[in-house]
Amino acid sequence: MTGDDCIFCRIVRGEIPARKLYEDDEILAFHDIHPVAPVHFLIIPKVHVASLYEAGPEHQAVLGKVLGMAGRLAREAGAADGFRCIVNTGRVGRQEVYHLHLHVIGGPETLPAMLRR
């Protein structure tokens, strides 16, 4: 899939509405449409990168920015006592949208254990 028919590229272009938390030239943060916790938003690079598998050295700066904004935006969104960042990647990682995104998940309650045995 290229950027043309990618749902997150369409959000970047304003063709699909999203509840935005933050935007600049390189990244966009918006609330997940199906939140799994009181705080659940996504941070994406505006450039179309399908997944971490496709990310290369040329994406390091923007991915650093994505990660570097997580704490500030989580605090502003109300995740005062912590949060979890997830990047689902590929089939095994159960990625559904193939435009690289960082989930930021938090809220007042303790999250479930990351993985169960």
Interacting residues toward Zn ion by CB under 5 A: 3, 6, 8-9, 48, 99
With CB cut-offs between 5 and 8 Å by kind, which of Zn ion, ligand 5GP, none does residue 9 bind? Zn ion
CB-based contacts of 86-95 (< 8 A; 24+ apart in sequence): 87/52, 89/51, 89/52, 89/53, 90/51, 90/53, 95/51
Which residues contribute to the site for ligand 5GP (CB under 6 A)? 7, 16, 18, 30-34, 88, 94-97
Give the residues across from 31 on adjacent strands.
41
Give me 33's structure tokens.
């449409």
Alpha helices in 1-117 (DSSP H): 7-12, 60-77
Smallest distance, Zn ion to C-beta of residue 105, A: 21
Neighbours of 12 (CB within 10 A): 22
With CB cut-offs between 5 and 8 Å by kind, which of Zn ion, ligand 5GP, none does residue 85 bind? none
Residue 31 a catalytic site member: no
With CB cut-offs between 5 and 8 Å by kind, which of Zn ion, ligand 5GP, none does residue 55 bind? none
Smallest distance, ligand 5GP to C-beta of residue 106, A: 14
- State the catalytic residues: 101
